[in-house]
């Protein structure tokens, strides 16, 4: 049986909904970060991430598939040449939704949806190290936690301020 899409229905009909989501995806790839209602952001996330996954493959077939949604060729080019290569090492989760409170006027819950930064080599290493630490913790349940806690804390703190600095420059 067909399963309905998760989240709110948008617009006045199926074609309107497709067009709204296509427009939101185009704006997201064009500007990198957009403010919209939370319902629209939640619907947009899977659409945008599937488009990025197709763009990462980068062949002509996938370009034509993406072009069904992103009809603006300038944005299509940006997506394939700039956005997709950034996420080469990232297995999904290319967007981030942050709630920013209700809108004045109709009190609609608003959210910022943005493309996350590329994984740097250091972050990838940290991620692997954390995963390794978790594995070792699981394996040696009794002995490891005392050793693991400081090792976990240091890299996370290193990564977070770097992110914050990058974002402040952008915004």
Interacting residues with other proteins (CB under 8 A): 98-101, 112, 160-161, 163-164, 167-168, 171
Least Å distance, CB 41 to other proteins, is 13
Buried b (16+ CB within 10 A) or exposed e, 124-138: eebeeeeeebeeebe
Query: For residues 75-102, b (16+ Cβ closer than 10 Å) or e, as one string?
Result: bbebbbeebbebbeebeeebbeeeeeee
Phi first, then psi: give them for residue 110, nearest 5 degrees. Answer: -105, 160
Integer Cα distance of 144 and 167 in angstroms = 35
CB of 141 to other proteins, least distance (A): 29
Q: How near is the Cβ of 35 to other proteins at its closest, in Å?
A: 9
Q: At what angle do helices 14-31 and 38-57 cross, to 10 degrees?
A: 70
Nearer CB in complex with other proteins: 58/102: 102
Q: How far is the CB of 114 from other proteins (least distance, A)?
A: 8
Residue 85 or 102: the one with the smaller Cβ distance to other proteins is 102
* Cβ neighbour number for residue 59 with a 10 Å cutoff: 9
CB of 85 to other proteins, least distance (A): 24
Q: Whole-angstrom Cα distance, residue 29 to residue 69? A: 12
């Amino acid at each position: 049986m067909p399963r309905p899409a998760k989240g709110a229905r948008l617009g006045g009909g199926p074609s309107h909904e497709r067009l709204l989501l296509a427009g939101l995806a185009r704006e997201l790839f064009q500007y990198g970060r957009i403010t919209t209602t939370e319902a629209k952001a939640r619907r947009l996330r899977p659409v945008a991430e599937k488009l990025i996954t197709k763009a990462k493959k980068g062949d002509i077939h996938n370009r034509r598939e993406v072009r069904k949604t992103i009809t603006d060729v300038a944005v299509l080019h940006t997506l394939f040449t700039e956005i997709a290569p950034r996420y080469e090492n990232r297995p999904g989760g290319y967007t981030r939704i942050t709630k920013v409170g209700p809108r004045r006027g109709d009190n609609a819950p608003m959210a910022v949806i943005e493309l996350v930064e590329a994984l740097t080599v250091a972050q990838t290493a940290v991620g692997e190290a954390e995963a390794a630490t978790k594995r070792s913790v699981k394996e040696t349940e009794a002995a490891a936690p005392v050793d693991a806690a400081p090792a976990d804390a240091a890299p996370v703190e290193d990564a977070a301020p770097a992110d914050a600095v990058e974002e402040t420059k952008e915004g």
